[in-house]
Amino acid sequence: MIWAVIAVLSVANAALKASGPLALGGREPSERALRVISLVAPAVLTGLVVYEAVAGRDSGLAFDERLVGLGAAGVAIAARAPMWIVIIVAAATTAAARALT
């Protein structure tokens, strides 16, 4: 069962990633398309931040210690800390908040 999940997900993953080239080929994008394209990253990233920060274990919303870690990460980001520091701050703060509660 595990192997079926792995096989299907790897094939489907490749197909999803190939969807753009298969649909568009070598076509040049219009100016409007370029404007939309330039906004795909912030839109997807925001969805991922929100999802990873407050997704419940199975479904729904859960507001827990991750948010404390994310807040601390926000402070580190504002202080222009490099990526690895931001990551450590997020994990350490979350772990500390969990240990206290």
Q: Which of residues 34-93 bind another protein (CB under 8 A)?
A: 34-55, 57-61, 65-66, 69-70, 73-74, 77, 82-84, 86-87, 89-93
Please work out the total of residues on this chain that contact another protein, with binding judged by CB under 8 A.
77
Residue 59 DSSP class: S
Smallest distance from another protein to CB 76, Å: 8
Closest separation in Å from C-beta 71 to another protein: 10
Angle at which helices 65-78 and 40-54 pack, to 10 degrees? 140
19 contributes a contact to another protein by CB under 8 A? yes
Nearest residue to 64 via CA among 92, 89, 99, 98? 98
Q: Least separation, in Å, of the C-beta of 79 and another protein? A: 12
Instruction: Judge contact between 20 and 34, C-beta under 8 A.
Output: no
Q: How far apart are the C-alpha atoms of 32 and 28, rounded to whole Å?
A: 12
